[in-house]
Chain A
């Protein structure tokens, strides 16, 4: 495992920006800023005519680190500890689970909790619990 610094102010500020983005997407398009829900609709079959807008939103997320690099001159720190096989397994589980449960950290954890949704509270507590359990098993028991 790689040690990371506790960054309360930067994380609070970054979180607030995520909130600003969620509010802007609701104001502009009337849509929940749930990344898994937007990403799955990039794939066929297409139910409405909003594909290009969704692609633009995801593209904005993709290029964000490049904008940070241009502004600060340094790439954001990104330590990927998992090996390629584990990453593929993890990706399958994250993709399947987030769509099966109608949301991920952004859709349930940010937007859903902000709407005081009971379903999102159940979802958020569940994925936090299984993620913490998984980290405990892989880091401390296996």
Chain B
């Protein structure tokens, strides 16, 4: 049952992306292109997507988190980290460069798998490799960042 529900929740997410136009990388790149504002080529739609999403999520999370536990049991898994470290800047900085090169972030890249042909498939496979690489690197901090630096 919870598997079907999670499929449906993913479907709503994907429908939201497609209806919002975010499955089109050109639309995303035209939002990121601030230099196109004077020439009329700027597409502010992405700001409206974030506004709609945050408005619903902000209120919805408050209501849902009043419950003692999720519908299918277990507990609410909320991020516990609060500090600002190098990773919370470096990761998004790298992610942003990739996003600006292709116009795809992870969600829209998955919506492109059925309609974007080999180009989208190549992006998604590379993305998964990059994800695996980051997780592998994160799991080996001691070896890569020794406490005692070698001179």
Contacts and interface: CB of A to CB of B under 8 A. Distances in A.
A62 B134 CA distance: 23
Nearest to B118: A84
A53 B61 contact: no
Given A17-B19, A87-B102, A131-B100, A30 B109 contact: no
Interface in B80-130: 81-84, 87-107, 109-116, 118-120, 122-130
Nearest to B44: A6
B98 to A, nearest CB: 3
B36 to A, nearest CB: 8
B10 A99 contact: no
B13 A60 contact: yes
B18 to A, nearest CB: 5
Contacts of A135: 29, 32-33, 100
A139 B123 contact: no
Contact of B60 (A6, A20, A35, A57): A20
B contacts with A: majority SS: helix
A126 B3 CA distance: 34
Interface residues of A, number: 112
Given A94-B104, A130-B93, A29 B2 contact: yes
A15 B48 contact: yes
Nearest to B34: A132
Contacts, number: 498
A33 B53 CA distance: 12
- How many of chain B's residues touch chain A, expressed as a range? 35 or more
A6 B100 contact: no
A119 B92 CA distance: 11
A20 B22 CA distance: 16
Give 10 nearest A-B pairs by CB, closest first: A101-B91, A60-B10, A14-B20, A64-B14, A95-B130, A19-B56, A15-B52, A134-B100, A91-B126, A93-B98
9 contacts: A17-B15, A25-B9, A36-B131, A76-B111, A91-B124, A91-B125, A93-B101, A128-B96, A130-B93
Given A20-B60, A82-B25, 20 more contacts: A11-B22, A14-B22, A22-B60, A24-B9, A26-B70, A61-B111, A67-B14, A78-B25, A80-B103, A88-B122, A91-B104, A91-B129, A94-B123, A97-B134, A99-B134, A100-B94, A105-B99, A110-B53, A114-B54, A114-B61
Interface of B: 2-27, 29-30, 32-35, 41, 43-46, 48-58, 60-61, 63-65, 67, 69-72, 74-79, 81-84, 87-107, 109-116, 118-120, 122-135, 137-138
Interface of A: 1-8, 10-33, 35-36, 39-40, 42-43, 52-54, 56-68, 75-82, 84, 86-106, 108-115, 117-119, 122-124, 126-136, 138-140
